[in-house]
Amino acid sequence: AIATEASAAAAPRGVGAAVGRPPLRVGMVGYAFMGAAHSQGWRTAGRVFDLPLNPVLAAICGRDADAVRAAADRHGWAAAETDWRALIARDDVDLVDICTPGDSHAEIALAALAAGKHVLCEKPLANTVAEAEAMTRAADEAAARGQIAMVGFNYRRVPATALARRMVAEGRIGRLRHVRVTYLQDWLVDPEAPLTWRLRKELAGSGALGDLGAHIVDLAQYLTGEKLAGVSALTETFVRQRPLPAGAARGLSAGSADGTTGQVTVDDAAVFTGRFPSGALASFEATRYATGRKNALRIELNGEHGSLAFDLERLNELAYHDGTEPGEHAGFRRILVTEPEHPYLAAWWPPGHGLGYEHTFVHQARDLVHAVADGRRPEPSFADGLQVQRVLAAVEESAEKNSVYTPIAP
């Protein structure tokens, strides 16, 4: 046979590897930004990675019949439902993927686990610690029946952050002293930006704290392998009244104002410091008001023997300083994280042909499929999601008390 240009040069190593394997039939609730990102993950994982089960996009669910049908067609889902209970009841759904606002996470996850389904739930796990506790209890009971429950902290699945985790665990930076994390966006800088669901406590739970802070708390704890012992925090809501969206406001800034305003009931920004059990100090900043910063997640770890730094805007790179090198040639160097030896990358493109944001969702789907096939508790588990929720609650409590140091139950 004559190799075509596509097959000879461009095909990723694992193309089609899961096709023909037993199916893992996914039902997804939600079809906005995260729904699109997760669809991409489910659609692609089995075409790139050699998976034991082949993800099948069985059914997608949303309240608006026309919109969910259009989303099903656009993203490749076989069926569309308008009631999540009907989605859970379907015999052709093995796993329920929850991509809705936080106010419905607990109810959907509990029902799905009770119905014998595996569950993937977007972050933050829930809107309150009590909900997250109930979800974790249900996940533990379901685990005994062989069901899997995972929370979607996708930034663990950037090859460079996974490599950083590996390097910390190998002891390459030694005893940890500092963790410095910021997650900066600017989509609320305009005081006329509409009051979408993300700005309403009853729907979103909290603001920048739960949306962005949850990511950086999880990432910091994942990279260090430690859980925060306590925090001191400040939060602020800079603009307290905003125009109400006229229609259904989707995404980060869509929707048009009709003249009436409503109250913002969540934080716009959260700044906090924390202590790890090892004695390392951490600082965190999560904001939607960092003018010019679109999705800027940065983390730096300083240890006794070296440092690691990651910047989501350069996600194929990891900066590493080996402090044991002679001062003469020491300094941060850039590791281009595109080698087949790096996490996730053996299945993708040749070295130097980088990945992007969407691939974190492909890797998330890949890892979850393996966990389901192996009957293994995946990470991050619901218990991990609950612990992050406890950190968020401690941040709120500390901020209410003007930054009083607030311990976090282990």
The least CB distance from residue 409 to ligand SOE, in Å, is 25
| Phi/psi-derived region of residue 33, left when phi > 0, alpha when psi is between -120 and 50, beta in every other case | alpha
Binding residues for ligand SOE restricted to 27-56, rule: CB under 6 A: 33
Nearer to ligand SOE, 81 or 267 (CB): 267
The least CB distance from residue 208 to ligand SOE, in Å, is 8
* Residue 332 binds ligand SOE (CB under 6 A): no
Nearest Cα neighbor of 188 from 241, 127, 260, 235 is: 241
The least CB distance from residue 365 to ligand SOE, in Å, is 16
Q: Are 121 and 149 in contact (CB under 8 A)?
A: yes
Binding residues for ligand SOE restricted to 222-261, rule: CB under 6 A: 252
> What type of residue sits at position 327?
G
> What whole-number distance in Å separates Cα of residue 269 and Cα of residue 287?
4
Q: Which residue is nearest to ligand SOE (CB)?
A: 211
The least CB distance from residue 122 to ligand SOE, in Å, is 8
The least CB distance from residue 221 to ligand SOE, in Å, is 16
Nearer to ligand SOE, 295 or 324 (CB): 295
Of the residues 39, 136, 161, 185, which one makes contact with ligand SOE according to CB under 6 A: 185
From the CB of residue 273, how many other CB atoms can be counted at a distance below 10 Å? 16
* Residue 285 binds ligand SOE (CB under 6 A): no
Joined tokens for residue 243: 């125009």
* Residue 364 binds ligand SOE (CB under 6 A): no
* Residue 295 binds ligand SOE (CB under 6 A): yes
Helices 105-114 and 129-144: angle between axes, nearest 10 degrees: 20
Q: Are 283 and 156 in contact (CB under 8 A)?
A: no
Establish how many alpha carbons lie within 13 A of residue 307's alpha carbon, considering only the half-sphere containing its beta carbon: 17
Write out the residues near ligand SOE by the rule CB under 6 A: 33, 185, 211-212, 252, 295
